[in-house]
A and B are shown apart, each in its own frame.
Chain A
Amino acid sequence: MQYLLLIYADENAAPQPGTPEFGPFMQGYQEFTTHLQEKNAFVSGDELQPVATASTVTMENGKMEVTDGPFAETKEQLGGYYLVEAENLDMALEYASMIPSAAHGRVEVRPVVKY
């Protein structure tokens, strides 16, 4: 099965560039990605630009409406994702727990629909 791991965290709570924590934090991500690749579990994964860069689109009467900002203003923002291949939910949950941002944020695990 495929699972989307959605990484939510307060952007200001993550280790910031220039601090001593930042290096190990980024290295943690690199190691996690490598781990997924070695397990043949990595499908894709990316970091997103800060939520300040977000735009939200909806169609109103056939016309595109764009608003500044994310779909919902929340304390924690979607900052990145991994799409992984996992045998079952337990496996996917284990991967989610290994994501460095899980230490200060949260990871939502969603099974992907397969047609």
Chain B
Amino acid sequence: MLAALTKTLNDLQLAEDCLQDAVEVALRKWTDQDIPSSPSAWLITTAKRKAIDRIRRDANFASKEKQISHLLEMTSTSEQEPDLDAIPDKRLELLFTCCHPSLAEKTKVALTLNTVGGLNVDEIAHAFIEKKSTMAQRLARAKKKIKLAGIPYEIPALDLLPERLRDVLSVIYLIFNEGYSSSSGETLTNVDLSTEAIRVARILEQLLPDETEVSGLLALMLLHDSRRYARLNNDGQMIALEDQNRQKWDKGKFREGKALLTNTLKKQKIGPYQLQASISALHNESPSWEKTDWAQISALYQLLFQLQPSPVVRLNQAMAVSYAESIEPAMDILDEIAEHKNIQKYQPYYVARADLARRAGDVKRAKVYLNQAIELTNNEIEKEFLIKKMS
């Protein structure tokens, strides 16, 4: 509803305020006997009337005349309550607005959670360990920028679409990962960002069923999420994939993710999220760590590296190679990326180094690397996990 109103009014803040007004009216007016046949349509119509009132009260009356007559026309022609299907779905437009490249990363995340995800300011502030006032200010500033800078409420033109869709997907994945690893907190927050990210991805998947990377991302998140309850022990300590109780993996989520992935791969428009989902699915399908199809995982990382030449991908590939082949070629890969500036402060790199050193029998070096990894971790759960590994 918010998305539809925003599109009509071309003003996110105004749309939110008017919808709020309409809800207040509804709370007063609606009684058990007197609920309109289509509550959503009623709310939209009422919100539009409230918008006219608000714009009229606005000092710049003259300059808003056009907007008012446009609205008047819309409300008078729909005096009868329109049915719900007639309200156009504008969530996609809103999602593109929230993830516009002219907004800062954290702002995109907060806006998406607030307008498309439906979390309130309190919940978002809590999830990001920020004061409520700071988060409220961030959101207000963003909405103001959207309005003043003329960030459109539109699905981007065809030539911009692939790039903008990548932006949207990366924001959703960022939200998921923030919830999954909760990198900045001592314990997991009560607002479940991972579930929220999956919810937004489901909406996007419904709206863009032919975009294979959208389905790929949704599948990837479902597959990751299927392992969430096996990731922590009763004391809240992290358990490595290697040591997880595979019986605890959520079979429902796995089945849904896998089915989605299989259907998507058939369309033969491969992309990074689909490849990562394929890797994740191979882990799910293996009865144990030792029986994992490391050769295929290594090959998938090779493909992924061609699409996404990042040292992090090579790092993951190295670990797969260490199981599929042996330790030496894996170490060669790590040597090859060692000089990369993004890798030198990347904690998993040192964990990987330590693991390979230990498996090669060099306990002393393994400890040196583990110490470096511990220094780079600010999440208490992960720190405990690494310290335990030391002994």
Q: Which residues of A contact B (CB under 8 A)?
A: 1, 3, 86-90, 92-93, 111
The answer to whether A92 and B102 touch across the interface, beta carbons within 8 angstroms, is no
Closest chain-B Cβ to A106's Cβ sits at a distance in Å of 14
The answer to whether B154 and A88 touch across the interface, beta carbons within 8 angstroms, is yes
Closest chain-A Cβ to B157's Cβ sits at a distance in Å of 7
Within 8 A of A (CB), among B237-278: none
Question: Is B287 an interface residue when CB atoms closer than 8 A count as contact?
Answer: no
Contact bitstring B137-176, A, C-beta under 8 A = 1, else 0: 0000000000011111010110010000000000000000
The answer to whether A89 and B102 touch across the interface, beta carbons within 8 angstroms, is yes
A92 contacts which chain B residues (CB < 8 A)? 150
The answer to whether B149 and A90 touch across the interface, beta carbons within 8 angstroms, is no
Would you give 26 A-B contacts (Cβ < 8 Å), ordered by A? A1-B150, A3-B150, A86-B150, A87-B150, A87-B152, A88-B150, A88-B151, A88-B152, A88-B154, A89-B100, A89-B102, A89-B149, A89-B150, A89-B151, A89-B152, A90-B151, A90-B152, A90-B154, A90-B156, A90-B157, A90-B160, A92-B150, A93-B102, A111-B148, A111-B149, A111-B150
Q: How large is the interface on B (under 10, 10 to 19, 20 to 34, 35 or more residues)?
A: 10 to 19
A3 contacts which chain B residues (CB < 8 A)? 150
State the CA gap A89–B152 with chains docked (Å). 7
Q: Interface majority SS on A: helix, strand, loop or mixed?
A: mixed
Q: Which residues of B contact A (CB under 8 A)?
A: 100, 102, 148-152, 154, 156-157, 160
B148 contacts which chain A residues (CB < 8 A)? 111
Closest chain-B Cβ to A107's Cβ sits at a distance in Å of 13
A89 contacts which chain B residues (CB < 8 A)? 100, 102, 149-152
In chain B, what residue has the closest Cβ to A3? B150
Closest chain-B Cβ to A47's Cβ sits at a distance in Å of 25
Residue of A87, A88, A89, A111 with most partner-chain B CB within 10 A = A89
State the CA gap A87–B149 with chains docked (Å). 11
State the CA gap A99–B151 with chains docked (Å). 20
Closest chain-A Cβ to B9's Cβ sits at a distance in Å of 15
A93 contacts which chain B residues (CB < 8 A)? 102
B152 contacts which chain A residues (CB < 8 A)? 87-90
B160 contacts which chain A residues (CB < 8 A)? 90
A87 contacts which chain B residues (CB < 8 A)? 150, 152
Given contacts A88-B150, A93-B102, A111-B149, 16 further A-B contacts (CB under 8 A): A3-B150, A86-B150, A87-B150, A87-B152, A88-B151, A88-B152, A89-B100, A89-B102, A89-B150, A90-B151, A90-B152, A90-B154, A90-B156, A90-B157, A92-B150, A111-B150
